[in-house]
Amino acid sequence: MASTFGTLFRISTFGESHGGGVGVVIDGVPPRLAISEADLQFDLDRRRPGQSRLVTQRDEADQVEILSGVFEGYTTGTPLAVLVRNKDHNSGAYDHLKDVYRPSHADFTYDAKYGFRNWAGGGRASARETIGRVAAAAVARKLLAEVAGIEVLAWVQSVADIEGNINSDEVTLDMVEADPTRCPDPVAAALMTEAIEQARRDGDSLGGVVTCIARSVPAGLGEPVFDKLDADLAGGLMSLPAAKGVEIGSGFAGTKMTGLTHNDPFEPGDNGPRTTTNHSGGIQGGISNGEDLVCRVAFKPTGTISSEQKTVTRDGEATTLAAKGRHDPCVLPRAVPMVEAMVLLSLADHWMRQRAIDVLPPFDVRP
């Protein structure tokens, strides 16, 4: 199903940008996990529109409601349903898009697939769909922290050609949240702010890269061949709106190294082998190796801009379009919790899948 992600920790998102609301049904949440609406609200506040002058000014509080699956503050083991109601949608602002395709947007491709599209706010193609993912990932975050001490943290690494000088081992949530850009390098953050604001004034948009790190991931998560941990991560991250590329560990830079310099040598550790480098990004053979999981996601410039562009109507007639409405001039600041969400959901699912096969003591693989 196109709106379902995961195998044992499984989510199904629903809703449109300008409908009554958006949300998610989470199946497979273990019982007796302490969870509250406040746990979900924290990450939704990081994702919501209108949080700074750098993002869309749509005024949504994104107040979360847990409809089922929680009783007296604990999960029951039954499906957990979450809803966020749309409050500040103005469909009339999109009337000019009814019969016109926005360049590099989902307008034409949705029409090609269904012969019909929701032109008000983009429907399911809107980043507003990610509310369900972020809400579900807040549950996954609580679960992974409690059972394995896993921490997942993302930040803006670059916007256009502005690159942050960031030591990933030292980044904290407070550092990420200290600036509206969510870049923990203050110097780069100031330059990013200036560039994003200039793009808005120019009726243009910017892209960039989000880096994500998952700390304390145990070795052994991931399935052979088609359900490799990095394959599921890549699929989940590439499903995010505007995502155009994913790197794990060294990524494309690894192609410029030799096997001798790229291989991660092993050394003895307190809880089994450790590697002295992490070019693999915490995953080898599609299975986590106990090192930090490191990935990067490239996001294209926002497709909907106010500058005039060439396009066509649904009837194939040439025209021009200067889009109206409220749009992000750069998706990167709000993409940070979305990237964290897909990493959290992938890890929660694979953690549960690993628990499902851990019914016998493991063989001693050490000599």
What is the average per-residue pLDDT within 341-364?
Answer: 88
Please answer whether residues 138 and 64 qualify as being in contact, where contact means their C-beta atoms are separated by less than 8 angstroms.
Answer: no
Please answer whether residues 22 and 47 qualify as being in contact, where contact means their C-beta atoms are separated by less than 8 angstroms.
Answer: no
Predicted local distance difference test score (pLDDT) of residue 94: 67
- Alpha-carbon distance of 36 to 295, in angstroms, equals 29
* 55 has a pLDDT exceeding 80: no
Predicted local distance difference test score (pLDDT) of residue 56: 58
Q: What is the pTM of this model?
A: 0.93
pLDDT tens digits, 200-236: 999 999 999 999 999 999 999 999 999 999 999 999 9
Predicted local distance difference test score (pLDDT) of residue 124: 85
- Alpha-carbon distance of 347 to 287, in angstroms, equals 11
Which residue, among 156, 95, 83, has the nearest Cα to 120 in the 3D structure? 95
What is the average per-residue pLDDT within 323-345?
Answer: 90
SS3 19: coil
User: Which one is predicted more confidently, 231 or 52?
Assistant: 231
- Alpha-carbon distance of 58 to 132, in angstroms, equals 18
Average pLDDT, the chain: 91
pLDDT tens digits, 155-189: 999 999 999 999 999 999 999 999 999 999 999 99
212: Cα separation from own chain's centroid? 10
- Which secondary-structure segment (H or E) carries 83? strand 80-85
pLDDT tens digits, 91-135: 556 677 788 888 888 888 988 888 888 777 677 888 889 999 999
Lowest mean pLDDT of 29-43, 104-118, 294-308, name the range: 104-118
* 54 has a pLDDT exceeding 80: no
- Which secondary-structure segment (H or E) carries 134? helix 130-148
Predicted local distance difference test score (pLDDT) of residue 365: 55
* 1 has a pLDDT exceeding 60: no
Looking at the chain, the whole-number percentage of residues with pLDDT higher than 90 is: 71
**What are the structural domains of the chain?**
4-357 (3.60.150.10)
